[in-house]
Amino acid sequence: MINHHMQRTFALRRQEIVQSSLPIEDFKSRWPALFLEAQVYAEFHRITNQNLPQTFFSSLNKYTPQLLSLYKTKAGKSGATADKMAAILNDYEEKVSNV
């Protein structure tokens, strides 16, 4: 039922988003279903014709090696944050090597 109504009101929502600058609180009170996880996925699909979780995870898989390299560079520096990051990366590498 929610999906049906959201599909029917898609053009109106898009028009409101493009033409007005409603604060998020107002937009949320006007379109509360849009803030449900299932409707976030559905709206993403209506706009892009792509599956959001699949797109996200495939992109994450694509960029993970570069992100890990960046994190390792940052972890190589000194400081409490770098030490914590290094510990997390070491734990990750141990788990990955055991798989």
Tell the residue number behind the tokens 């937009």, with chain if given.
27
The region, left, alpha or beta by phi > 0 then psi within -120 to 50, assigned to residue 79 is left
What is the predicted pLDDT for the residue at 13? 92
pTM above 0.75, yes or no: no
- The residue behind tokens 């972890």 is 75
Residues 33, 21: Cα–Cα separation, whole Å: 19
3 state DSSP class of 24: helix
Give CA–CA dist 31/9, Å, rounded: 10
In this structure, are residues 91 and 97 in contact, taking their beta carbons and an 8 Å threshold?
A: no
Q: What's the length of the chain? A: 99
User: Tens digit of pLDDT for each residue in 13-52?
Assistant: 999 988 988 899 998 999 999 999 999 999 999 999 999 9
pLDDT 10s digits, 73-90: 877 777 777 788 888 888
Give the count of beta carbons closer than 10 Å to the beta carbon of residue 6. Answer: 19
Give the mean pLDDT of 58-69: 90
